[in-house]
């Protein structure tokens, strides 16, 4: 993650980072070749949103951002044009049984 400081005379780039880990094997389905770890997505969602906010993912791919938002009590919308990724996201990452288990755990 980086910020460009536009009010600085030289417009320098400031790199800001935090530690993140990969998802444990088998914890979440691996659907997309560029799928991000849910732990990383959750950190970003916590930083930039509050509970009840809406998270929008215009390139939803595996649906991992939508899953992370759901687990953090955020509403979300995702868009995916590749039908294979869409179907896998719906059937594996976002299926009703999994979402019900998450809701029961967090209630």
**Mean pLDDT, rounded, for 97-107:** 78
pLDDT above 90 for 15: no
Q: What is the DSSP code (8-state) at residue 22?
A: P
Long-range contacts of 47-51 (CB under 8 A, 24+ apart): 49/74
Bridge partners of 56, per DSSP, are 77
Q: How far apart are CA 45 and CA 76, in angstroms?
A: 11
In contact, 31 and 61? CB cutoff 8 Å: yes
Q: How much is the pTM?
A: 0.78
Give the residue, 33 or 15, on which the prediction is more confident: 33
pLDDT above 70 for 8: no
**Strand boundaries in the chain, DSSP class E:** 2-4, 13-15, 54-57, 75-78
Size (the chain), residues: 107
Determine the pLDDT at residue 82.
96
Mean pLDDT of the residues in the chain? 85
Bridge partners of 90, per DSSP, are none
Band (pLDDT 50/70/90 cuts) for residue 97 is confident
pLDDT above 80 for 49: yes
pLDDT above 70 for 14: no
pLDDT above 60 for 66: yes
């Amino acid at each position: 993650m980086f910020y460009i400081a536009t009010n600085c005379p030289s417009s320098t780039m400031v790199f800001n980072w935090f530690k993140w880990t990969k998802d444990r094997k088998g914890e979440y389905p691996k659907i997309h070749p560029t799928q991000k770890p849910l732990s990383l997505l959750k950190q970003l969602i916590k930083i930039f949103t509050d509970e009840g906010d809406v998270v929008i993912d215009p390139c939803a791919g595996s649906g991992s951002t939508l899953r992370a938002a759901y687990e953090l009590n955020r509403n979300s919308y995702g868009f995916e044009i590749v039908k294979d990724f869409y179907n896998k996201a719906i059937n594996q990452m976002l299926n009703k049984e999994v979402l019900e288990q998450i809701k029961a755990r967090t209630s």
